[in-house]
Amino acid sequence: MPIPNSLAVQAKAREAQRPRIAHPPRLQQPLTKEASVNNHGKRYTIAEKTQVLTFLSLNHSTRDIHNWIGVPPRQSLRILQKAKERGYNPEESKKVLHVYIEDGVRSGRPKEISSEAEQRVIESITSDRNTREQSSEVIAYSQGISASSVQRILKQNGYHAVKPTRKPGLNVAQKRARLAFCISHQDWTLEDWKKVIWSDETSVVLGARRGSTHIWRKSNEAFEKSVIRNRWKGYSEFMFWGCFSWYQKGPCHIWRVETAAEKRESELDIQQLNDLYEQEKKDEWELTQGLTRLSLRPRKGGRKPQWRFTKATGKLVRQGKGGIDWYRYQKVSTRELIFQ
């Protein structure tokens, strides 16, 4: 059996008995403007380098420097070596110049994409409305570069992926009407515009959302918690009408969905109005037909016209699915005027 080396045993024993120094966790040191450019790994500030050189010139150990300011011993020696290569000599002068401790200029990775290629990317998305919607992958394929390079070029030039600005489509008649309005009001003064009341409307839905929602899932993930969306009963929808002028905000009104009881009440009310107006409308129709028969023009062939009480002859009719029509608007406006 080999005899162990007594010196090795003694060295291990001393190493085990040597007290361990608890070092604080190594924190990232703040960087200066010069050091923040092309940052590749750990760097130390100008103040830390100055402290290291000052402590070393005063014959302090690297372990003490590590305990005081957190710079490891090996890094302290590297700082001293670089400073001496730049002309620092603590035996002649302990003054620390900026040239001894400033960060060196690093060229970094050479630029692969030229400025001409960047300009072609910008021109490709600004050529027409279709190219504005192209993805970075499509642009990268057309320009022969990577999608990440396209995203970096667009971001550096201030382009961001946002929703498009929406505007209502206008036909020729609407464009002419707007142009005529602008021409007729181009000479209006501020006092004239102060007399105008501006109104608008919007539809509001509470407890639900408009449109459909799409999610990505597999066929066997229908009951996964992440793909399930809650649905609540009792959502409400209403129309909000409001107005404002130069001086103040005007009154507003909330049009709620018409209930079944209100619809039945409106049908009875309209039926009573039609019963009152039918004879009057019939007399007007017969008078019109009599004047037509007295005309000198030859009478048209076919059956003799018969009276029918329809919308064309003056019958009050509510069309559509309800909502804000002529009857409801007239009834609500009259009621509000009475209670004011």
Model pLDDT for residues 44-85, shown as the tens digit of each residue: 888 999 999 999 999 999 999 999 998 999 999 999 999 999
Per residue in 176-220, pLDDT tens? 999 999 999 999 999 999 999 999 988 888 777 766 677 777 888
DSSP state letters, 144-174:
TS-HHHHHHHHHHTT----PPPP-----HHH
Q: Identify the pLDDT of residue 338.
A: 42
Least confident of 81-95, 157-171, 182-196: 157-171
Supply the pTM of this predicted model: 0.39
Task: Give the residue with greater pLDDT, 37 vs 168.
Answer: 168
Q: Answer whether 277's CB lies under 8 Å from 316's CB.
A: yes
Q: Answer whether 324's CB lies under 8 Å from 255's CB.
A: yes
Q: Round to whole Å and give the CA distance between 261 and 245.
A: 37
The domains of the chain are located at 23-101, 116-156, 194-206+233-257, 260-290+308-339
Would you say the C-alpha torsion 282, 284, 290, 295 has a positive or negative sign? Answer: negative
Number of Cβ within 10 Å of residue 101's Cβ equals 21
Nearest CA among 124, 117, 109, 110 for reference residue 159: 124
pLDDT reading at 236 higher than 60: yes
